[in-house]
Chain A
Amino acid sequence: MRIPQLSLFIDNQPGRMIVPCKLLADAGINIVTLSLADTKQFGILRLIVREWQRAREVLEAAGWVVAVTEVLAVEVDDRPGGLVELLRLFEQAGINVEYMYAFTARLGNRAMLVFRFDDLDAAISALTRAGINPVSPIGLYDHLDEE
């Protein structure tokens, strides 16, 4: 269920973001979803990519330093309050969310969110106890293939 996320440090200058995106595009690698966190000086580009090892190799060969972090994909009902219920669960279990963003794909009437936790193991336990199964990478990619 742990999904590898790649992240890159990018100078906050015009034209910098295109570089890694083009590298991946040229290698025929499709980005499943992404998020860009920005500060005045730099951005951190986070990518979920199916062939993450190949993507990492392509980027590193071009001199990029790539961090790999394990994240979870969790479904929530795609209705008002869907996210709040999940966040409340985390709060009660004392789980800290570092950051989150959404998948572009949906599973039926459920939205999928990417979560990066302070303590991934604790988050997985809390979710399991609550009967919530994060989407596994296989599940995620099978679903994408069906679409």
Chain B
Amino acid sequence: MNPATTAAQPLTALFHPASSPDFVPREPLWALQSQRLREVVCRTYEGVPLYRQRMQKHGVTPADIGTVEDVQRLPFTTKADLRDAYPLGMLAVPLHRVLRMHPIGGGPGQRMAAAYTKRDLAAWGELVVRCLASCGVSQGDVIQNACAYDLFTDGPGLHYAGECLGATVVPIAGGDAARQLAVMKDFGVSILCSTPSFLVYLLERAEKTGVDLRGLPLRAGVFVGEPWSEAMRKRIEESAGIKAYDVYGLPETIGPGMAVECRHQSGLHVFEDHFYPEIVDPASGAPRAQGEEGELVLTTLSKEAMPLVRYRTGDLTALLAGPCPCGRTLRRIRRIDRRADEMFVIQGVTVFPSQIEAALLAVEGALPPYQLVLTQEQGLDQLEVQIEVTARIVSDRVGAMEGLQSRLAEEIEKSLGISVPVRLVEPHAIERSQGKAKRVVDRRGASS
């Protein structure tokens, strides 16, 4: 075999050319990060009054920033800051340079804005392209983009990147399962972009109408928008016959496209040329050691319109040690399978919806629609797990239903360490989610 030709057989034949920034060696990456951080700090110091005032109060100036590790000298930015600054208080450039503005966040008091200059849009596009490429998407794929386009950055972000990649994009957004399944079949869709909850919803409808996704050309799902468990991933992969990839992104920082799984699905590679990740103690803000779990803090290294410095994401994760078999030099974060703000404390124990979800999946192998109802009785928080009776679990025998209820309660108790009531409820008592599943219904504070 001719050594010259084997040497020219690149590992990158396995990778899309768009992914090459994922393989930049650490030294030049660090130099790039350091340079970009200095620029971001200057930009925010000069352009955003909130940042300047805070830095001054903190006794820090742009001159104090040399290397990217110096980011630790800077104060944090929080969601509350973005809400208070709504709509334009965090803008670092004049409005006429902003080509896109997404309204994000919730209702009054929770609204935020995500703004993009021309370069921001180009960078965002490049990042989402790298996400898609990491999931094996390329020209020739037909992408069904079922992500929301209104009030979310996911729809437009994936749409634009899909086209940049040269794939065929079907901008169907959410809703109407029958239509989604018809399009999936008729257009020969190979890639689905959506929230994991949405595919669960489609699978439920498909089962009802006798459609088997495993017989379709659909081969991968690129999932955004909400935390989801490993058990949920396995379930999706089996039922739909696809590889299910996780993409992480927050609309405040850029939208989807901050970190993505590769084909090894063992952690998400953070696009460190554009985002600098830190893991801190959620209470004190002190840095955690490598590999320890804590709150993810992100600094945007390239954003012009609304840069964020040390943004507290509220998401809990850890930075994974060691190289990934894929060869990417970008560090990985552990999959985020729970939302920090969906956590609550019952009988002194911290409970995450994902723990309950894992228990339900363990008993049933499938995930019936469920809700966690929080109430308050005599000042104490109470939790009831409500599980909908679906065609899969319905029975004519009381014993079978009660037996199921006990098994679910037992498994949940095993998972949480405390016993909580489980109630089976009528079909369609629980609202279906087409976007992000609302698992927790909080009735605390309502008069008991």
Q: Does B49 contact A (CB under 8 A)?
A: no
Closest to B391 in A: A65
Number of A-B contacts (CB under 8 A): 47
Q: Does B238 contact A (CB under 8 A)?
A: no
Contact A63 B425 (CB under 8 A): no
Q: Does A39 contact B (CB under 8 A)?
A: yes
Q: Which of the candidate stretches A2-10, A74-82, A86-94 sits at the interface with the other chain?
A: A2-10
Given contacts A11-B426, A39-B402, contact A5 B391 (CB under 8 A): no
Q: Which of the candidate stretches B68-76, B172-180, B297-305, B393-401 sits at the interface with the other chain?
A: B393-401
Min Cβ gap A52→B in Å is: 13
Contact B424 A9 (CB under 8 A): yes
Instruction: Give the distance in Å from the alpha carbon of A63 to the alpha carbon of B431 in the complex.
Output: 12
Q: Does B380 contact A (CB under 8 A)?
A: no
Min Cβ gap B217→A in Å is: 31
Contact A37 B398 (CB under 8 A): yes
Q: Does B419 contact A (CB under 8 A)?
A: no
Which of chain A's residues have a CB closer than 8 A to the CB of B425?
11
Min Cβ gap B220→A in Å is: 32
Contact B390 A44 (CB under 8 A): no
Min Cβ gap B124→A in Å is: 41
Contact B396 A116 (CB under 8 A): yes
> Most chain-A CB neighbours within 10 Å: which of B390, B391, B398, B401?
B398
Closest to A44 in B: B398
Question: What sequence of 0s and 1s flags, for each residue 67-110 of chain A, a beta carbon within 8 Å of any chain B beta carbon?
Answer: 10100000000000000000000000000001100000000000
Contact A99 B397 (CB under 8 A): yes
Q: Does A141 contact B (CB under 8 A)?
A: no
User: What's the interface size class on B, roughly?
Assistant: 10 to 19
Which of chain A's residues have a CB closer than 8 A to the CB of B182?
none
Contact A64 B427 (CB under 8 A): yes
Contact A9 B427 (CB under 8 A): yes
Min Cβ gap B424→A in Å is: 6
Q: Does B57 contact A (CB under 8 A)?
A: no
Contact A5 B396 (CB under 8 A): yes
Contact A44 B396 (CB under 8 A): yes
Which of chain B's residues have a CB closer than 8 A to the CB of A46?
396
Min Cβ gap B53→A in Å is: 55
> Most chain-B CB neighbours within 10 Å: which of A37, A41, A66, A99?
A41
Which of chain A's residues have a CB closer than 8 A to the CB of B391?
65
Q: Does A22 contact B (CB under 8 A)?
A: no
Min Cβ gap A41→B in Å is: 6
Contact A9 B397 (CB under 8 A): no
Contact B423 A41 (CB under 8 A): yes
Contact B397 A42 (CB under 8 A): no
Q: Does B213 contact A (CB under 8 A)?
A: no
Question: What sequence of 0s and 1s flags, for each residue 18-54 of chain A, a beta carbon within 8 Å of any chain B beta carbon?
Answer: 0000000000000000000101011010100000000
Instruction: Give the distance in Å from the alpha carbon of A32 to the alpha carbon of B425 in the complex.
Output: 27
Checking B390, B395, B424, B426 against A16 with a beta-carbon cut-off of 8 angstroms, the contacting residue is: B426
Identify 22 residue pairs between A and B in the complex whose beta-carbon atoms are under 8 Å apart, listed by A's number. Answer: A5-B396, A9-B394, A9-B424, A9-B426, A11-B426, A11-B429, A16-B426, A39-B401, A41-B423, A44-B396, A44-B397, A44-B401, A63-B428, A64-B427, A65-B390, A65-B394, A67-B394, A67-B396, A69-B396, A98-B397, A99-B397, A116-B397
Give B residues with C-beta under 8 Å from A. 389-391, 394-399, 401-402, 423-429
